[in-house]
Structure 1
Amino acid sequence: AHGTPRANTLQTAGLLSSNPNSALPQRLSSSQALTCDQNHGYSAEQKAADGGRNDLYMQNTDVETCTPGLFTEPGLVMDYYDRNTVTGLWNYAQHYAMSDNSYSTTFGPSTPGAINLISGQTHGIHAVTPTGTPTTDSYVVASPDASGVGTVVNDPDPYFDDCSNSNATRSNNLAVASGKNVGDLLNAKGVTWGWFQGGFKPTTPYAGPGTKAVCGATSTNIGGGTSLDYSPHHSPFEYYASTSNPHHLAPSSVAAIGHTDQANHNYDMTDFDAALAAGNLPAVSFLKAPAYQDGHAAYSDPIDEQHFLVKEINALQRSPEWSSTAVVVAYDDSDGWYDHQSAVITNGSNDPARDAAICTSAAATVGVAGGYADRCGPGTRQPLLVISPFSKTNYVDHTQTDQASILSFVETNWGTGRIGDFSADAEAGSLDGLFDFHRPVGRQVLLNTDGSVASVKVTTPRHD
């Protein structure tokens, strides 16, 4: 569109018609929104990056065979969506600010990404059985020490959650995280906060010792696929004893949301909507869509994701809270889809079983923070937008940032101090380049459910 700032894309890099991979990128239409899930493992993504050449995606992360009804084609991992499908994100970017240089803090899937968001530290994990007995499990813990403590690189469910293991119908080992997270820091400062996730409210409530809550709520995506709304391994505070709500207990009242009570800061998305309607939002809120709207390939898609974003952001912009709100739209992983841009690696790792050259070479040059293996990163590039009266307008920031940059922003804004123990928060790039705090514009941009612009209102124009 006219006036759109230049960003580092496949088109501007000249990679749509000439590409070092063995297949060319192809545009996916909105009718192809539901696709196969790609390989987004810690090692596979490193191998695809091939030392920053980004030319081995077909060999390492491409998945073309999956559930019937999902779209697939040869070279699927190379494909991309444009504004015709991600219309809402495009229009938010046109009116607010986005980054074209933001990454996962480490390589790998959702759980490391979610934990990096709240602590910047994927080390400090140990495995337990469903009954809480310490055990060894290479899926749950990578590179464990003599005490069984290591790093999470996969998607094990959290121990402190009744709904883990598909509502206790499986017997997989579970993960426990030690150390601090941003919830602990905010509690220590007396700052209200909450994690709000679709499906967190149980369909069968906890009924006392010997029972478990059941998270059985389901929803259906645009393709007719039905999935459980709640995904435990997307709920990072449930890995920590100090910030978990194992039995999915409801807040004692709407007024208590954000404060410490039986819910312990973990809520359903309906609780966020209730708090917003009551004018009682916590100072810091993390929102996670129900699974069918979280944008993850195979069970979700960009269209259902857009419905979630538009609903919640419209509600925020219509509220009195909007004048002092910043929405950061970010992702927990890239799902392994092709991208031509790699980050400058700031933390290496030399685990011979899991790390490829992009990480082992970095271990020799920038080191391994804390000596903790399997935290190599930043990993894959992902979209990041800031939607706020304080964000720059129609702006693309090129500062290298990652998931822990959001953590660092919260720590700085509320004066909590850092996590410590070699957390990525201390080195993460700043989000400040996306903001203009000195000359804010009270811009309200409401979207329709199809992502098109419904209205634009400027309430506090900027005077130069």
Structure 2
Amino acid sequence: MPHPAQRFTRKRVAAATGAAALAATALTAGAIGFGAGPASAGENHSGTATPIKHVVVIFQENVSFDHYFATYPQAANTPGEAQQGTGTAAASFTAAKNTPKDINTLATAGLLAPNNPNAVQPARLSPMQAVTCDQDHGYTAEQKAYNGGAMDQFVQFTSRDSCGTNQYGRPGLTMDYYDGNTVTGIWNYAQNYAMSDNHFSTVFGPSTPGALNLVSGQTHGATEYTAAGQPVATPAAGSSTVRQPDANGVGTVINDPDPVYDDCSNNSHAKTNNLAGMTGRNIGDLLSAKGTSWGWFQGGFTPTTAATGTTPASCLSSHTNAAGASVVDYSPHHQPFQYYASTANPHHLAPASDAEIGHNGQANHQYDLTAFNKVVNTDNMPAVSFLKAGMYQDGHAAYSDPVDEQNFITNTVNQIQNSKNWENTAVVLAYDDSDGWYDHAVAKVKNSSNSADDAAWCQTAAASGIPMASGYADRCGPGPRQPLVVISPYAKKNYVDHTQTDQASILRFIEDNWHTGQIGDASADATAGPVNAMFNFDRQRTDKVLLNEQTGAVASITKTEDGNNSGHDDGGNNRGSNSGE
């Protein structure tokens, strides 16, 4: 448990830092960044730039694009396979005939065995191998794996091949991938809605940088604190909490320090770990300034022990994953708004009433996942909702897995599709980092860095003249490629977008749709590519595809009135599919 005085220390730090941040940072009016989007994007949609009135971001953990889509849309369909944990028969997968052919997968790139340049060849993971070792996904390790863009050093720098009980491992595990017999649900969403094959981490590195980039496009602006919440004036050389600090001790986050404005930080870790706090604005600040409802909803956020006058809250609820391991639900370093004084709910207070959800109040827009369930089918569903699964269902290797993750995603999407709000909602399925899993695609560096934390990939970019935004080091990116899927009545059907995007592209869509302006201070939102190609805002689909929440197979399809299940008119990719059935 954190130091008894931590509650009061954090409160003082929050008040001082929050006031300074709000005074020092002005809203920056940005141009609406829909690029070459449809004409209707500029029409009057009663306060939004598009017909989308609700965005739900399901933000999962640690998956590279090739790890889930290496052979898409071809699955092995091996007879007799079953899911780890339940023994449920794995679903088969057959793609629609009109599935696009020009998808940048490992298979289409010709890099499956025996043609891969890495030291170990890629291999398929079965549904019985759902829980695996966690890979090395450090900021520097991932850059080294790139080997100057050759993409052939993953085994040497990111592969972790042996681990705990009931976790699958083998030499060169980082190279391995699942197919539509394990990640059936995500493949079926891609078949029936829209996906990207050119979406990347904003920067290299693990969960916290990815989460911060989602909500602010910024990993600079971090201050280090002791485990008791006291500011560290001069971070120690080599500190893992804040890197490259300036004369005021403000630097960049490249690792996973817990947030200072959270009683539950260090609950599940060593009690002496230093913490981090962020200055500047995030999307929550911008939405609140516009009077737009929003919230972050995370599994396990409700305390198991409530805060008192002398004792901080504790968050130690748990669930069992597919390997039978007990996993604590709440991870503080997966909760980006808890790093900011202005948007934190340090004591994990519940909303005073259901009517408060999404609005100002004692919970300060930070909630348990159960709060979303209360409002999803009501007029009080927030305009913007970020959903974070409990750790056993978030997809992170070692403690989670694709089977448990699929259960969460399909259950959540089914719930939204069956709600009164589905007709104007966009669900965005995205990930915080790649976990170090191999992916063959490489994006040209947009933001360079040449610190001691950077390998040749980023240092060479800096030497060649690629700018380092505002001189903030350790924000090199884009990093590895990740899945991105959009599920919406306005999503194109069986469509693959090739526009280069990153995590800050989701932030930029929210900013533009609700006219919030941009973050400023060299946030990645200013240069993030648009996600709009995955939508057709001129035509609302009336079909919806519900999936089996255990297997990910298609459970039901509601047809359109004309019977063609049509979502858009781009080259015939709008006909029905029997995928997963």
Q: Output the TM-score relative to the length of structure 1.
A: 0.98
What is the distance in 2 between the residues matched to 1:459 and 1:189?
36
Per mean C-alpha deviation after superposition, the further-off stretch among 356-365 and 30-39 is 356-365
Q: Secondary structure at the match of 1:389?
A: coil
**444, 449, 454: which is aligned to 1:355?**
454
Query: Are positions 1:171 and 2:171 aligned together?
Result: no
**90, 95, 102: which is aligned to 2:187?**
90
Query: Are positions 1:4 and 2:103 aligned together?
Result: no
2:358 alignment counterpart:
258
After TM superposition, give the deviation of residue 443 of structure 1 in Å.
2.5
What is the distance in 2 between the residues matched to 1:419 and 1:322?
29
Counterpart contact for 1:217–1:230, Cα < 8 Å: yes
What is the distance in 1 between the residues matched to 2:269 and 2:202?
31
1:323 alignment counterpart:
423
After TM superposition, give the deviation of residue 463 of structure 1 in Å.
8.4
2:111 alignment counterpart:
15
1:154 alignment counterpart:
255
After TM superposition, give the deviation of residue 348 of structure 1 in Å.
0.3
Q: Per-residue displacement from partner, 1:397-454 (whole Å, max 9, x unpaired)?
A: 0011000000000000000000000000000000011111012212211000210000
What is the distance in 2 between the residues matched to 1:295 and 1:220?
14
Counterpart contact for 2:378–2:420, Cα < 8 Å: no
**472, 496, 504: which is aligned to 1:372?**
472
What is the letter of the counterpart of residue 105 of structure 2? T
Q: Per-residue displacement from partner, 1:272-306 (whole Å, max 9, x unpaired)?
A: 00111444210000000000000000000001000
What is the distance in 2 between the residues matched to 1:77 and 1:168?
26
Query: Are positions 1:112 and 2:213 aligned together?
Result: no
Counterpart contact for 1:441–1:458, Cα < 8 Å: no
Q: Secondary structure at the match of 2:186?
A: helix
Counterpart contact for 1:339–1:381, Cα < 8 Å: yes
Q: Per-residue displacement from partner, 1:229-277 (whole Å, max 9, x unpaired)?
A: 0000000000000000000000111111000100000000000001114
1:127 alignment counterpart:
224
Q: How does 1:442-461 map to 2 (within 5 A)?
A: 442-449=542-549, 450-459=551-560
**219, 239, 242: which is aligned to 2:342?**
242
What is the letter of the counterpart of residue 189 of structure 2? Y
Counterpart contact for 1:167–1:214, Cα < 8 Å: no
After TM superposition, give the deviation of residue 355 of structure 1 in Å.
0.5
2:442 alignment counterpart:
342
Q: How does 1:175-194 map to 2 (within 5 A)?
A: 175-194=276-295
1:230 alignment counterpart:
330
Alignment length (residue pairs):
462
What is the distance in 2 between the residues matched to 1:444 and 1:313?
10
After TM superposition, give the deviation of residue 132 of structure 1 in Å.
2.2
Could you list the structure 1 runs, at least 4 aligned residues long, displaced by more than 6 angstroms after superposition. Answer: none
Query: Are positions 1:312 and 2:408 aligned together?
Result: no
Q: Secondary structure at the match of 1:320?
A: coil
What is the distance in 2 between the residues matched to 1:182 and 1:463?
31
Unaligned runs of 5+ in 2: 1-94, 570-581
Per mean C-alpha deviation after superposition, the further-off stretch among 243-252 and 49-58 is 49-58
Per mean C-alpha deviation after superposition, the further-off stretch among 44-53 and 399-408 is 44-53
What is the distance in 2 between the residues matched to 1:301 and 1:355?
30
Counterpart contact for 1:160–1:244, Cα < 8 Å: yes
Q: Which structure has the larger Rg?
A: 2
1:394 alignment counterpart:
494
What is the distance in 2 between the residues matched to 1:204 and 1:134?
26
Q: Could you say which structure has the greater relative contact order, defined with CA pairs below 8 angstroms and 6 or more residues apart?
A: 2
1:71 alignment counterpart:
168
What is the distance in 2 between the residues matched to 1:463 and 1:373?
43
What is the distance in 2 between the residues matched to 1:443 and 1:328?
18
Counterpart contact for 1:52–1:341, Cα < 8 Å: no
What is the distance in 1 between the residues matched to 2:211 and 2:478?
14
Q: Secondary structure at the match of 1:362?
A: helix
**512, 517, 522: which is aligned to 1:417?**
517
Unaligned runs of 5+ in 1: none
Q: Secondary structure at the match of 1:263?
A: coil
Counterpart contact for 2:377–2:421, Cα < 8 Å: no
Structure 2 CA distance for partners of 1:223 and 1:146, relative to 1, 3 Å: same
Q: How does 1:14-53 map to 2 (within 5 A)?
A: 14-17=110-113, 18-53=115-150
CA RMSD of aligned residues (A): 1.2
Q: Secondary structure at the match of 1:158?
A: coil
What is the distance in 2 between the residues matched to 1:284 and 1:277?
14
Counterpart contact for 2:261–2:338, Cα < 8 Å: yes
What is the letter of the counterpart of residue 123 of structure 1? H
Q: Per-residue displacement from partner, 1:49-93 (whole Å, max 9, x unpaired)?
A: 112211000110010121122101111110000111000000000
Q: Output the TM-score relative to the length of structure 2.
A: 0.78
Q: Secondary structure at the match of 2:276?
A: strand
2:7 alignment counterpart:
none
Q: Per-residue displacement from partner, 1:120-174 (whole Å, max 9, x unpaired)?
A: 0000001011222222251111111111110000000000000000268611110
Q: How does 1:204-215 map to 2 (within 5 A)?
A: 204-207=305-308, 209-215=309-315
